[in-house]
Amino acid sequence: MTKKRIQHRFACVLGFAVLFIGSSARVPACTLCIGFPEKTDVDFLAESACVILARTETETPFTFSPRRTLKGKFDGSKINLLVDSMTRRRLASDHECFVLLVQSTPYGNWRSLGIVSNAFRPVVERLVVLARFWSEKGQSEQRWQFFLPLFGHDDPRIRQLAYLELGRAPYSVIRNLGRSVPRETYIDILKDPKYLKWRSLAILLLAQSESAADKALIRDSLRSAERFGLQSNLSAWAAAAIEIDGQAALQFIAEKYGRGSSKDAEEIEAIIAAISMHGRFADLEMQNTIVDLYRQILHTRPEFASRIAEDLLAWERWELSEQLSEILEKGSLLGREERLSVARYVRTTQKNEEPVNGSR
C-alpha cells in the first residue's frame, strides 16, 4: 500500500477517531506506554520562556545565530551550544531548515530540540501557541486530538512526535486508534531494535489487527516473555493478548503469574498493569475473572495490596475486603501510604450494608 493511499485511508476514519476522543476526557493516560521520554518537544515548548529558530553563519559555522523568535523575546545572550558536524551538513544542504532552540528562563542555558524541516516548521509554530493551554486541567484530550492526523506522517520528526504524544493517551483512545490507522504506520517500531523501549504503543495498536499472523505474534511473544522471565514490554504483550483472547489469555496469566507463582516482582507488577487497564473497561464476566486473579496474586504477593486495593475501590468490588484486612493487620510489607490506601478500601467496604459478590 502506497503512502498516499495510507494517508487517504487514515483521513477517511479520522473524523470518527476525533469524535471518540471527545468522550475520553478525565480518563487516565495509558499505563503501559512506558519507555517514552518524560517530556516531549511539546512540554519543552510549553515550559520555555523563549523559543527561536536558528542557523549558522558562514563566518561562524560552529555556533548558532537566531533567525526567528517564535515565543518570548530573545535576550541577546550567547547560545552556548556547539553545532555538530551532522547538523552543519544538514544546514548547508537545506537552506529552508532550522534548528529549534529553547530557553527555560531569560539569560539561562539553551537547549536544542533538533532540526526543523520545512514540513515541521508550521507544526512547531502551532504548538508554540497551543502547548501553553494543554497543561490546563481538562485540556489533555485537545493535545491528543492535535496529533491524531499526524500519526504516520511522511516527515520523520512529525511522525516520531505524534507517536510519542499518542503514546500518552488513554487505552480507550489507543484502542480506537488501532482500528483506524494502517498497520504500516507503526509496524517498523516493532522491528527496529533502537525502538525497544517505545514498542508498547505499537503492540497495543497491533492488538486491533485482524491478521492471524499478528494475533499469533502477540500470543507467542507473551509466552516467550513468560518462559524466559522477560520484563521489557511484558505489560503490553499481556494487555494485547487479553484484547485478542479475553478469558483464555487471563487463564494463561493466572496459571503462570497467579497463586504460587515464583515470578519476579517486576513481572508481577507488569501483569497487574495489564489486567488493571482491561479491568477498567471489562464486562462483568471478565472483571470477575480479574478480581479472582487479584485474589490469587495477593496470596503470594501481599506487597501489591495497595495497587490492587486502588483498582477494587475504583471498580466498587468489595469481595477482597477480608483478605486485604488481614494483609493490613500484618502490614510488614506495606509502607505508610500503602497502608492508607488499603485502609481506605477496607473502610469503604464496611460502609456498604452488605458486600455483594459480582456487584460493580
Residue 23 lies in a domain: yes
Q: Write down which residue in 209, 230, 245 finishes a domain.
A: 209
Kindly list the distances between the CA atom of residue 35 and the CA atoms of 198, 253, 268, in Å, as whole numbers in the listed order. Answer: 6, 23, 18
- Note whether 88 and 163 are same-domain residues: no
Buried b (16+ CB within 10 A) or exposed e, 270-299: bbbbbbbbbbbebeeebbbbbbbbbbbbbe
Q: Write down which residue in 135, 161, 187 finishes a domain.
A: 135
- Note whether 84 and 183 are same-domain residues: no
Q: Write down which residue in 158, 176, 209 finishes a domain.
A: 209
Q: What is the pLDDT of residue 161?
A: 94
How far apart are the C-alpha atoms of 152 and 146, rounded to whole Å?
A: 14
- Note whether 61 and 112 are same-domain residues: yes
Residue 295 lies in a domain: yes
Residue 205: name the closest of 196, 197, 214 by CA.
214
How far apart are the C-alpha atoms of 93 and 112, rounded to whole Å?
A: 19
Residue 28 lies in a domain: yes
Residue 19 lies in a domain: yes
Residue 269 lies in a domain: yes
Q: What is the pLDDT of residue 2?
A: 43
Q: What is the pLDDT of residue 130?
A: 95
Residue 356 lies in a domain: no
- Note whether 194 and 182 are same-domain residues: yes
- Note whether 262 and 284 are same-domain residues: yes
- The boundaries of the domain holding residue 96 are 42-135
- Note whether 16 and 142 are same-domain residues: yes
- Note whether 126 and 159 are same-domain residues: no
Provide the Cα torsion 289, 292, 297, 303; round to 10°: 120
Q: What is the pLDDT of residue 246?
A: 97
Q: How many CB atoms lie within 10 A of CB 37?
A: 10
- Per the structure, the count of domains in the chain is 3
- Work out the burial of residue 259: count CB atoms within 10 Å of its CB; fewer than 13 is exposed, 13-18 middle, 19 or more buried: middle
- pLDDT tens digits for the chain (360 residues)? 444 443 443 333 333 333 333 333 334 555 454 456 788 999 999 999 999 999 999 888 999 999 999 999 999 999 999 999 999 999 999 999 999 999 999 999 999 999 999 999 999 999 999 998 897 777 788 998 899 899 989 999 999 999 999 988 888 888 888 888 888 889 988 988 888 888 999 999 999 999 999 999 999 999 999 999 999 999 999 999 999 999 999 999 999 999 999 999 999 999 999 999 999 999 999 999 999 999 999 999 999 999 999 999 999 999 999 999 999 998 778 899 999 999 999 999 988 745 455 554
E strands, the chain, in order: 50-56, 64-71, 98-103, 110-116
Provide the Cα torsion 236, 238, 243, 248; round to 10°: 170
- Note whether 225 and 249 are same-domain residues: yes
- Note whether 48 and 32 are same-domain residues: no
Q: What is the pLDDT of residue 21?
A: 34
Residue 270 lies in a domain: yes
Residue 360 lies in a domain: no
- Note whether 267 and 339 are same-domain residues: yes
Dihedral sign for Cα atoms in the order 7, 10, 12, 16: negative
- Note whether 141 and 114 are same-domain residues: no
- Note whether 204 and 265 are same-domain residues: no
Kindly list the distances between the CA atom of residue 26 and the CA atoms of 168, 170, 172, 317, in Å, as whole numbers in the listed order. Answer: 13, 9, 12, 21
E strands, 148-296, in order: none
